[in-house]
Structure 1
Amino acid sequence: MTRDDRNSENAEALAIQALAFVASDPELLPRFLAISGIDAQAIRQAAREPGFLAGVLQFIVAHEPTLMRFSEETGIPPQQVTAAMRALPFGDDNHDRSV
């Protein structure tokens, strides 16, 4: 396994943790669904699509209070969330065009 493969796997694991964070929050989940255009029932299927996990991290990174709360609750530094986002397919900094 190469370093890039490990980075990608770590980024995916962090993004899945972020998805659980969003899904468990009664204020964040409706906002995420509205911005992404995904129905709640379609999240599992959408999560298999390239770019979806990066979109979850883009959603978190784009709103600093959400990023800080996620970081506080998980112990994951904000810069690690950003690095994970960039390690995933379609994980760039174009928040306006993402998710």
Structure 2
Amino acid sequence: MAMTQDYAETIALKALGWLVGNEDLLPVFLGASGASQSDLQARAGDPDFLGSVLEFLTMDDAWIIAFCDAHEIGYEVPLQARWALPGGASVHWT
């Protein structure tokens, strides 16, 4: 199944919910992204913001494993979802 933008946004919303429920990781995301607590709800429908959530999540294998295990999805899904959102195209330097 090809990753659609709608499905990618669904995965990103699940990732955002997972982050909000993670007391240790949420402050790290807020600090890294510059987002505030109020931005989380206000920008939850913004594909660019959702892309930043997935971008952050894919920075650490342990985060990916924990998120994917919690939602019973494949470990490759968050990165595929990131690629399907605005600004997520894979960069090739050669």
How does the TM-score come out when normalised to structure 2? 0.85
1:54 aligns with 2:51: yes
After superposition, the C-alpha distances for 1:10-69 in whole angstroms (9 at most, x for unaligned) are 000010000000000001111100001111122222334341101101111111110111
Q: Report the identity percentage.
A: 29
Residue 58 of structure 1 contacts residue 93 of structure 1 at CA under 8 Å; is this kept in 2?
A: no
TM-superposed CA distance for 1:92, in Å, is 4.2
Distance 1:36 1:73, change over 3 A: same
Distance 1:32 1:60 in 2: 9
Distance 1:87 1:63 in 2: 20
Which residue in 2 is equivalent to 1:88?
A: 85
Which 4+ residue blocks in structure 1 deviate beyond 4 angstroms?
A: none
- Which has the larger displacement, 45-54 or 32-41? 45-54
Which residue in 1 is equivalent to 2:69?
A: 72
Distance 2:56 2:10 in 1: 16
How does the TM-score come out when normalised to structure 1? 0.81
TM-superposed CA distance for 1:76, in Å, is 1.0
1:30 aligns with 2:30: no
Gaps of 5+ in 2: none
For residue 84 of structure 2, what is the amino acid of its counterpart? A
1:43 aligns with 2:40: yes
* Equivalences, count: 91
Gaps of 5+ in 1: 95-99
Residue 50 of structure 1 contacts residue 89 of structure 1 at CA under 8 Å; is this kept in 2?
A: yes
